[in-house]
Amino acid sequence: MPSMNNRDHNFDKFVKQHFYVEKDVYADYFNFSWRKETIIYQKAYQTLKDYSKTPYGAVMIKKILFELRVPGRPLFQVRKDDSDGAKGSTNFITFPSGFPLATVLETGDKVDALAMIHHEIGHTRFTPGHKPGVEVSIQDERIAVIRRENPARMYNKNEPRYAYYNNDKDNKITINIITGEFKAGIWATDKADPRKFIKPK
């Protein structure tokens, strides 16, 4: 477990090595760039820094930094994307510059931004059993909530997340984290029995 002093040092190193910064406005990935001159003023940057100070975040940052010693691996990137929400994939994670963008999820669950970062890392190559190139399914999202997000939420003294809404344009569905049941549309869970779906207020 990195010490508190090492957590700050590791985050600075993480930013220098893994945050995608592209100065050329004509580059293909410029829209994913943090743009070096404004990076520390981005809300997402500060949220990621807060994540790096938690025990679970500090361990993940250290794990990502350590992987640079493995020859032949593509560089893992942290990208900014203001056209979409937080997203994890095999070789990168992206966040809108204003992340987190909300305080309450569509399902009625409170947003825990640090736990959400941990969730997205659950879709990367740093998670045991990850399959590169396989599209993330609603079941994969449920697993990321169970294995990554909810333990972090509980460490942060927040209620676990009980539902995940997939806002895919072709497949708008909600899955119950406890039961695995899913239904079309946006659903919340009953506070008295989160195994049951209810219409969100």
pTM reported for the whole predicted model: 0.89
Q: Which among 135, 121, 116 has a CA at the least distance from the CA of 44?
A: 116
Q: Which among 181, 147, 151 has a CA at the least distance from the CA of 163?
A: 181
Residues of the chain with pLDDT under 70: 23-37, 69
Q: Which helix (H) or strand (E) holds 25?
A: none
For the chain, what are the domain ranges? 4-198
Residue 100: φ, ψ to 5° = -80, 145
| pLDDT tens readout for residues 32-74 | 666 666 777 789 999 999 999 999 999 999 999 988 767 778 8
Rounded Cα gap, residues 19 and 29, in angstroms: 13
What is the percent of the chain with per-residue pLDDT over 90, rounded to a whole number? Answer: 62
Whether the Cβ atoms of residue 73 and residue 65 lie closer than 8 Å to each other:
no
Q: Which among 15, 165, 161, 11 has a CA at the least distance from the CA of 80?
A: 15
Whether the Cβ atoms of residue 19 and residue 93 lie closer than 8 Å to each other:
no
Secondary structure (3-state) at 98: coil
The residue with tokens 């994969």 is: 140
| Predicted local confidence at residue 11, as pLDDT | 93
Rounded Cα gap, residues 108 and 29, in angstroms: 34
